[in-house]
């Protein structure tokens, strides 16, 4: 089995002061023993098989850990990041490329699945390693930074592309000089109207939303959509709300996509709390995804029947604008597939 090496987020060390968010990333917890110590847990509380950490290393910012409940091995935020032996189980139907990313690669660093939209793989780095990540096995080394020229040229050559999605990894793990350069090059393509950023950083590390980030966002001619990723209401604290407010003021439309996860948010009450917490923060619930069937994540799966029952229960609890679409992504499909009636 090929081992996945930690994807280190580079810290800029110029003459300028290192941004607070980069210092926080450098101080992220990356050893299970340290995480247990901070939370007051014994390894015996969580099982003694942490070999999955060697395949897909633990990484979690301390500000996110601070939102976990002390002494609770079932905390829903902890379960999203804790390596478990179940990840090493080989389960039929769970593979390394669950949504067909590799087949959709049109140039190094560029995925083109859906009409009018193209996705740039900007980096393999993330601030947090979510155990259900559908790209946990993605060959980021084949989509290196040097490939950006080819990807931009491919977008420029296709006038049907009106929206460019920055993804990864997490694009906001890049420094702002790098992001501003990408935005400038995308913005220079006349037929591109929108830039969408898929990111978890404003949720797990709200310090990332600083003046420098907001400066280049404000300056962009493009319509800006930021798709955030929160799975549980406990992730939305006052710092996240403040970050969301600043992003909104910078002209970003804020949406959220979550993943339905066994033992974390697989009940209507948790989903209701999440939708309401998001809306209180100015973020619109957009998608709740059925789990992408990536190798190592089978223990998180909720059946489609259970998921649909939960969605119907949620629909009776919240107004329509707080009801996210329940979807699954199928490799090769022209769009996300709703699991519920549309209309």
Closest CA to 119 of 97, 134, 101: 101
Contact (Cβ atoms closer than 8 angstroms) between residue 173 and residue 99:
no
**Does residue 219 carry a pLDDT above 70?**
yes
Average pLDDT over residues 306-334: 93
pLDDT tens readout for residues 249-302? 999 999 999 999 999 999 999 999 999 999 999 999 999 999 999 999 999 999
User: How confident is the model at residue 34, as a pLDDT?
Assistant: 93
**% of the chain residues with pLDDT over 90:** 76
Structural domains of the chain in order of their starting residue, each with its CATH number: 20-88 (no CATH), 105-338 (3.20.20.70)
| Model confidence, pTM | 0.91
User: How confident is the model at residue 5, as a pLDDT?
Assistant: 44
Torsion angle (degrees, nearest 10) of CA 227, 200, 333, 314:
-70
Query: Please, what's the b/e burial string for 72-108 (b: 16 or more CB within 10 A of its CB; e: otherwise)?
Result: ebebbbbbbbbbbebbeeeeeebebbbbebeebbbbb
**Residue 331, exposed/middle/buried by CB under 10 A (0-12, 13-18, 19+)?**
middle
CA separation for the pair 104, 118 (Å, rounded):
10
């Amino acid at each position: 089995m090929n081992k996945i090496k930690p994807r280190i987020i580079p810290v800029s060390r110029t003459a300028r002061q290192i941004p607070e968010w980069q210092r926080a990333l450098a101080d992220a917890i990356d050893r299970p023993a340290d995480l247990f110590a901070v939370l007051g847990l014994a390894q015996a509380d969580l099982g003694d098989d942490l070999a999955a950490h060697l395949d897909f290393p633990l990484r979690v910012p301390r500000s996110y850990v601070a939102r976990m409940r002390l002494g609770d091995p079932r905390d829903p935020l902890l379960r999203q990041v804790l390596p478990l032996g179940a990840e090493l189980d080989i389960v039929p139907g769970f593979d390394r490329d669950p949504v067909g990313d590799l087949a959709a690669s049109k140039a190094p660093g560029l995925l083109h699945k859906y009409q009018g939209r193209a996705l740039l793989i900007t980096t393999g780095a993330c601030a947090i390693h979510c155990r259900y990540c559908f790209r946990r096995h993605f060959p980021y080394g084949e989509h290196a930074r040097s490939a950006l020229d080819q990807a931009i040229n491919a977008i420029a050559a296709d006038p049907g592309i009106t929206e460019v999605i920055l993804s990864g990894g997490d694009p906001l793990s890049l420094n702002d000089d790098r992001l501003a350069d990408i935005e400038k090059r995308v913005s220079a393509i006349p037929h591109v109207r929108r830039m969408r950023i898929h990111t978890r950083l404003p949720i797990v590390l709200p310090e990332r939303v600083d003046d420098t980030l907001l400066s280049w966002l404000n300056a962009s001619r493009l319509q800006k959509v930021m798709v955030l990723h929160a799975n549980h209401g406990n992730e939305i604290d006052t710092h996240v709300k403040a970050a969301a407010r600043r992003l909104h003021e910078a002209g970003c439309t804020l949406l959220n996509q979550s993943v339905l996860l066994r033992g974390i948010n697989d009940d209507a009450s948790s989903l209701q709390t999440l939708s309401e917490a998001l809306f209180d923060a100015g973020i619109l619930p957009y998608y709740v995804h059925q789990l992408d069937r990536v190798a190592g994540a089978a223990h998180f799966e909720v059946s489609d029947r259970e998921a649909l029952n939960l969605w119907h229960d949620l629909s009776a609890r919240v107004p329509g604008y707080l009801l996210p679409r329940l979807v699954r992504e199928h490799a090769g499909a022209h769009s996300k597939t709703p699991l519920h009636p549309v209309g």
